[in-house]
Structure formats: C-alpha cells, structure tokens
Amino acid sequence: MVARVVTVAFDGVEARRVDVEVQLVGQDQQTVFNIVGLPDKAVAESRERVRGAFAGIGLALPAKRIIANLAPADLPKEGSHFDLPLALALMAAMGVIAPDALDGWAAIGELGLDGQIARVGGALPAAVAADAMGLGLICPEATGPEAAWAGGARILAPRSLIALVNHFKGTQVLRAPEPGPLATGGVAPDLREVKGQEGAKRALEIAAAGGHNLLFVGPPGSGKSMMAQRLPGLLPPLTSQELLETSMVWSVAGLIERGALTRDRPFRSPHHSASMAALTGGGLRAKPGEASLAHNGILFLDELPEYSAQALDSLRAPLETGEIVVARANAHIRYPARFQLVAAMNPCRCGMGGAGRGACGKAPRCQRDYQNRISGPMFDRIDLTVETPPVTAADMTLPPPAEGTAEAKARVAAARAMQEDRVREAGLDPAQGLNARASGDTLDRFATPDEAGRMLLMGAGEAGGLTARGWTRTLRLARTIADLDGCTGVLRRHIAEALIYRRTTVGAEADFDRRQAQRGEGSEIREATAEQAPFLYS
C-alpha cells in the first residue's frame, strides 16, 4: 500500500504542490529508509528526525525497506518542513493513522527528537495554496495564527506529533487557531522635527504622492536620514491585497512573529556592506533579499556610493520590473520587489562638497570620483535628486514649522486619490495606480503637457539632459506635481519643476542650466518654477 500526504515546495513566494508517497517494501533485518525525488540535505536528514520523533513518542519503525517519494520528482525539494508530511505518510503506511483521515489535508512542519513540531517559514503562502487546492493545512502551533490569515482556509496547529495522532484517532480535539494581531508601528516621527530643508521636504512630498525614487545629497548632519525615516508617515496603509503580498514574502523569510501582520509599509535600511545576495535574495537556499522584503514599501540606502557597484546595479532591473529573478542551475526563482527607492549620500568622500565653510580641498575632482561609483543607468532611475544644505545655527533657533506630517499626508492622499480615480475611470490596470508606474500609453493620455511645457521638455531633450528613460520619468514626475497642484492637465510649471529634480549626476543641473542658457531657456525654467517651488532658489 502506498500512503500519500500533500505538502508544498516553495518557488519564491509561490507554494507548489508536492505529494509525499511512502511505501513499506518486503521484510528486512533492519529498517532501511530512503527518500527520493530531488531532496536537498535538509530533506534527506528528515529520515533521522522522523526516526527520533517516532522514538520520542514510543513508536518503532518497522523492519522493512521504507521508500519515500517526493513527487513531482523533477522539482527540487528544500527545507525541513517536509518532516511532518513524511511522518504522517509513514504512520498511515504503518496503520497508526487511517489513510483516509489525511484526505483533504496538506502538512508542513519540522520535527524535534521529542516529537514536538517546530515552526517553519512559509505558513501563510502554504495555507493560501492549500486553500486554493481545496485542502486544509496542518502546521506547527507557533505558525497557526499566521496561517489563519489565509481567508477561509481550515487550519490545524498541533504542538506535538502525539497531539496530532490523538486528534485523528478522536481522543483529542485540536481547535482551529485564530489569526494573529494586526499590529501597528506606533506614532510615526513628524516632519515638524526637521529644521529647515523646505526644498527637501517638498521633494519628499512629491515622492510620497507618486511613488517616485528619491535621492538626498548633502553633508553629514543635514537631515537626509531624518527625512527618509519620515516618508512612511506620509504614505497610506497597505491595502488588503498589498498586505497579503507583503506578508507572504515575510512569511517565506520566517520574519512573522506570533502571526502578527501590520498595515504599515515596510521600511528596510540595509547596511552599505550588504552583498548583492543580501539585497536581491539568493544564497545556498534561496531567500528573499532586502529588495523583496521592502515590497510595497521603502528601501532606504544610506551612504549610497559606499555600496558595491555590483550590488547597486543588481537593483536596476527590479526598479523597472517590480520583481527579482534569482537564477540557479536548476531553477529560476521569482520574488516580488516593487519598492520605492530612497537613497542618501554625501557630495564627496570627505562629506562636505565644494562650497561653503569646510569645503573639500580636492573639489571638484573628489566629488566627481566619489559620484562615479554610482553608474549612470542607476542615476537615471532616480526621479528626484535634491540637495540638503548644511543646517545653520539660525535654522536651529527657528520655531517649529506650521505644517508637519499631518498636513503633508493630507495633500499626498488627495494626489493619490486623483491618480486612483483616473486609472479607475479609464479602465486601466490598477497596477498603474501610481504615476511612477504609469505606462507610455497612460502618459500619452494623461501627462501630455501644454504647448509651452512641450517646448520646454523638447529643449531639455535636445540639450542632452534627458535619456529616453529620463524623458518618461520626467513626464511621470510632472504628472505627480500637477496632481499635488490639483490640475487635470500638465502645465509648463509642472514640467519645469520636474526638470529641476531630474539630474543624471549631482551638479548636472548647473551644466543643464548653462546649456539651456546658451539657448535662451535656462532662465525660463527657473522663472516657471519659482512660483511653484520658490525654496529651490533661495
């Protein structure tokens, strides 16, 4: 007789069905236990954990050849969560559990030598997949509250193997776990705490409204990190779909504690020594990287030029596609990675740049060499670049500004509502809800500037200040500025302000202005923008 139990193998955040088949063959002087079906080392070691768990509950393995097949055989199997389904299938083959008792259930869990069932990652996507297959899920007690978030899925969450056996025999009843708490991150820091930096605050608000990538450039202590940490407070909470997507990534990574989910958007801030695998995912057993853990949230890279060039350039594709593909010898693993990039850097290695008190003595060469650590294509994917000048003593003595996070968040919400209404009324893909994701067709319909704005944009392109990608991103940015302005159309002043923020390298604005001035257009950009954002020229 062949006993079968359903489990899953994780392909990114997708849980794919695996059938665990166990058969007892012949009679032997000792137990021989073989596992086939492309198991990795952790799965191959399951036979010893299962043997120990059986001994822990007083159950001896039969003196037969035990063959366990993990089907489909061509799908690689990784992880210790195969312990529990192997044990259940073996008990069914031995007659300890009635084989039909396991019909309608999938199982994941790691076994201890005392028969306890230890937590494993991926309970939420496993529960979602089981429910899609019309099955319930048996998972460790520690991950039961997490799995219970999977809608109407049936969940059993035993603490030990013996408790599960007793449940199927009818001598003990396991109650379905309740979903874990929906946690909140507490009170977000307020923008009122940031002294000065009105121009940077404006850029932060635009980035929040349209989901645009943002780079702060300034000397140490100018408030770059402080402002980046206040961006989550300007953003709306995760929608139900975004909550599920984000939580599934965190579940596979094993980062959900006590089943607690949160509607706060992720804010990930890896150290600049992080490797490419740490940022994008991968490793011996592929796990989501920081970019995927920031899905539907913010990836903050402080000291941007200090990251390795390989690590930074590995983010170029996900910044465009919203997903990461980890290529392995026998598989390609996809992780969602639609994040908003916020970065900060000093203008040069010494930190002070080439102007003002304490200016770098090696400027501009020091600045150029330091900024050249970041590739041009990476700079081209950053929508807003804003300089944060040193905070002066006069700035520190000023009273708190009249507006803070609450007021800025209200404007961001109004701008986002305009974007959502526009997409819904036009019958477009909801994935284009934010301007930063708008397709070319969408921009043609809703971001075509007026004639004066078109001429200004053409002048910038002809002057060499924009690539094709830069052109598209400028239109997206101008559309967001217009939404904040409450305008249905994109006007010249919106294009002008967007061009000010679009720079391929720090300091390129001055070069662009010089080129435009030669054409008689440089002053027009500043005049058009002065009314909308006067702080840019203070």
- At residue 410 the predicted structure's pLDDT band, cuts being 50, 70 and 90, is very high
Decide if pLDDT at 508 tops 50.
no
| Measured distance CA(142)–CA(116) in Å, rounded | 11
Decide if pLDDT at 178 tops 70.
yes
| pLDDT of the residue at 481 | 98
Rounded to an integer, the average pLDDT of 96-121 is 96
Q: DSSP for 33-99?
A: EEEESSB-HHHHTHHHHHHHHHHHTT-PPPSSEEEEEEESTTS-B-SGGGHHHHHHHHHHHHTSS-G
Decide if pLDDT at 379 tops 80.
yes
| pLDDT of the residue at 184 | 74
Decide if pLDDT at 383 tops 70.
yes
Rounded to an integer, the average pLDDT of 210-224 is 94
| pLDDT of the residue at 325 | 92
- At residue 519 the predicted structure's pLDDT band, cuts being 50, 70 and 90, is very low
Better-predicted residue by pLDDT, 140 or 530: 140
Share of the chain above pLDDT 70, in %: 92
Rounded to an integer, the average pLDDT of 378-383 is 94
Please give the domain boundaries of the chain with CATH numbers for all domains: 2-169 (3.30.230.10), 191-391 (3.40.50.300), 406-537 (no CATH)
| pLDDT of the residue at 201 | 95
Least confident of 38-52, 236-250, 268-282, 517-531: 517-531
| Measured distance CA(70)–CA(478) in Å, rounded | 54
Better-predicted residue by pLDDT, 242 or 532: 242
| pLDDT of the residue at 226 | 95
| pLDDT of the residue at 358 | 66
Decide if pLDDT at 515 tops 60.
no
Q: What pTM did the predictor assign? A: 0.90
Decide if pLDDT at 506 tops 70.
no
Q: Tell me which H or E stretch contains 405.
A: helix 405-426
Residues 6+ apart with CB under 8 A from 498: 474, 475, 477, 478, 481
Rounded to an integer, the average pLDDT of 377-398 is 90
Decide if pLDDT at 521 tops 60.
no
Decide if pLDDT at 516 tops 50.
no
CB atoms within 10 A of CB 296: 21
Structure tokens at 76: 């690689």
Rounded to an integer, the average pLDDT of 22-40 is 91
Share of the chain above pLDDT 90, in %: 74
Rounded to an integer, the average pLDDT of 500-528 is 47
Least confident of 208-212, 311-315, 420-424: 420-424
Decide if pLDDT at 161 tops 60.
yes
Q: What angle do CA 74, 78, 84 make, to 5 degrees?
A: 105
Better-predicted residue by pLDDT, 253 or 185: 253
Least confident of 23-27, 245-249, 333-337: 23-27
Q: DSSP for 444-510?
A: HHH--B-HHHHHHHHHHHHTT---HHHHHHHHHHHHHHHHHTT-SSB-HHHHHHHHHH--SSTTHHH
Decide if pLDDT at 471 tops 70.
yes
Better-predicted residue by pLDDT, 518 or 350: 350
Q: Tell me which H or E stretch contains 385.
A: strand 384-387
Least confident of 19-33, 233-247, 427-441, 505-519: 505-519
Phi, psi of 39 (to 5 degrees): -80, 145
| pLDDT of the residue at 167 | 96
Decide if pLDDT at 510 tops 70.
no
Rounded to an integer, the average pLDDT of 315-332 is 89
| pLDDT of the residue at 224 | 95
| Measured distance CA(277)–CA(286) in Å, rounded | 9
**Single-letter residue type at 290:** E
- At residue 144 the predicted structure's pLDDT band, cuts being 50, 70 and 90, is very high
Decide if pLDDT at 359 tops 90.
no
Strands 332-336 and 340-345: unpaired
CB atoms within 10 A of CB 414: 13
- At residue 356 the predicted structure's pLDDT band, cuts being 50, 70 and 90, is low
Residue owning tokens 């002043």: 493
Torsion, CA 429, CA 430, CA 434, CA 436, rounded to 10: -40
Work out the mean pLDDT of the chain and round it to a whole number.
89
Better-predicted residue by pLDDT, 357 or 521: 357
Minimal CA–CA distance to 290: which of 250, 234, 248? 250
Least confident of 176-185, 289-298, 327-336, 506-515: 506-515
CB atoms within 10 A of CB 120: 21
Better-predicted residue by pLDDT, 299 or 358: 299
Decide if pLDDT at 513 tops 80.
no
